[in-house]
Amino acid sequence: MLKFNKIFVFVLTLFAVQCVQYDKAESLNYLFYQKASYCPRNNITNWECGNICKFHSSMKDILVYYNDTHAAQGYLGFDRGQIVITFRGSTRTLTNWIYNFDVKKTPYQKCQNCSVHSGFLKTYIDIKKQLLQNLDNLISKYPAAPIIISGHSLGAAVATIAAIDIYHFLSENSYQNIIKEVHTFGSPRVGNEAFAEYYNKLIPQTVRVVNNQDIVPHLPPNKIGYYHVGTEIWLDKEFNQQKDCQPFIEDDNCSKSVKSIVSYSFFDHVNYLGNDTGCKAPFSQVICYLESGIEEGCVDQDLEEVILKARNNKMRLLFLTEEFLQN
C-alpha cells in the first residue's frame, strides 16, 4: 500500500490532478480511433470506414501494421496534432483468447521479477518491428508531436505492452515526442504486480476505462498472479464515471466491487460510451472460463462440452454466453 501512495504523490507532483479526471468527449475520440483498427486493412489505409472514419476526418499519414500469426492489427496516423497509435482486439470467432491462448505468464525481461501474459506478449512481438519502423517514419515527419495510444480488449493489452517499448524507443533515440496518454477500453490484466509497478512508473498517464459490468477486466484473475496497470475509470450505465478510483491500484470500490459472476456482462465489454467497440456489426461471441482449468481454457464452438467438462472435473464455469447474460 505504501509504495503505491509514494507513486501517487510522485505522479500528482508531475502531472497534477488532471491525469485521473475523465473527459467523456475526449474518451469518445479514443474509442473511435480504436474502432477503426478493427476495420479491413484497405479501409483503414484509405480512411474509408463510414461513420468511424468520418468521426476523425482529418486523419492522415496512416500506416497499418498486421501479422496473421495471432491476427494482430493496428495503425498509426496523424490527427489533431497528435500521433495516434492503436491496436485492435480479437476478431476471431472467439474471445477465449484470454485462456486458450497462453494464459501462462512469461518472464518480462525489462524489469526484475516481472512477468506478462505470454499470448499478449506474442501478439505484440508479431507486430513490434513494423510498429516501431512506422513510428520512426512518422516521427521524422512530426518530430514534436505528442503520441496517444489506444486499444480495446486484447488490443488494450497489446497497447499496454507496446507503450513500454515506445517509451524506451523515444528515449533511446532522444526523440522529443512524449507519450501523452494511453487510453484503453475493457482491458484484461496484462502482467503481474511487479510489471504493473514498473509500467506505472514509466507511463502513469494511463487511463483504463471499464464499462460498468464488463467481464474482461476481471480476467485473468488476481489469484493466478495478475494485476492491473494504470488508473481505472469506472463507468455506470449512462457511461458516466461512477466513482473516483484510486490511481495505480485495483480499487476495491470500483469495478472490482462487482463480484458476482452472473453480474459480469459480455455486452458491456463490446459497447462503450453507447457505441459498439468494433468496426461493423456488434460482436456475438462466447466467453467462458473454467476455474482451475486455466490452461484448458474453453472452446466456444461447443459450449455444451465445456459445461460437461466443468461438471466432470468439478470446475466452476464462470462465464457464460452473451445470450445467457442478456436473458
Ligand X SMILES: *[C@@H]1O[C@H](CO)[C@@H](O)[C@H](O)[C@H]1NC(C)=O
* Interface residue list for ligand X (CB under 6 A): 28, 39-40, 43, 48-50, 67, 69, 112-113, 125-126, 129-130, 194, 246, 251-253, 273-275, 279-280
Please state, in angstroms and rounded to a whole number, the distance separating the CA atoms of residues 322 and 327.
9
Nearer of residues 32 and 78 to ligand X, judged by Cβ: 32
Distance in Å, CB of 175 to ligand X, minimum: 22
Which one, of 213, 240, 223, lies nearest residue 319 by Cα? 213
Nearer of residues 252 and 295 to ligand X, judged by Cβ: 252
Residue 237 one-letter amino acid: K
Which grid coordinates belong to 63? Answer: 500506416
Q: How far is CA 58 from the centre of its chain?
A: 25
Nearer of residues 207 and 245 to ligand X, judged by Cβ: 245
Please state, in angstroms and rounded to a whole number, the distance separating the CA atoms of residues 100 and 288.
10
Distance in Å, CB of 21 to ligand X, minimum: 17
Q: Which residue sits closest to ligand X, CB atoms considered?
A: 274
Nearer of residues 50 and 143 to ligand X, judged by Cβ: 50
Nearer of residues 162 and 320 to ligand X, judged by Cβ: 162
Distance in Å, CB of 223 to ligand X, minimum: 18
Please state, in angstroms and rounded to a whole number, the distance separating the CA atoms of residues 56 and 77.
11
Q: How many residues does this entry show for the chain?
A: 327
Q: Could you give phi then psi for residue 10, rounded to 5 degrees?
A: -60, -45
DSSP states along 248-286? TS--TTTGGG---GGG-BSGGGSEETTEESSSSSPP--B
Distance in Å, CB of 142 to ligand X, minimum: 24
Distance in Å, CB of 178 to ligand X, minimum: 26
Nearer of residues 110 and 129 to ligand X, judged by Cβ: 129
As to burial, measured by CB atoms within 10 angstroms (0-12 exposed, 13-18 middle, 19+ buried), residue 142 is middle
Which one, of 220, 26, 250, 29, lies nearest residue 120 by Cα? 220
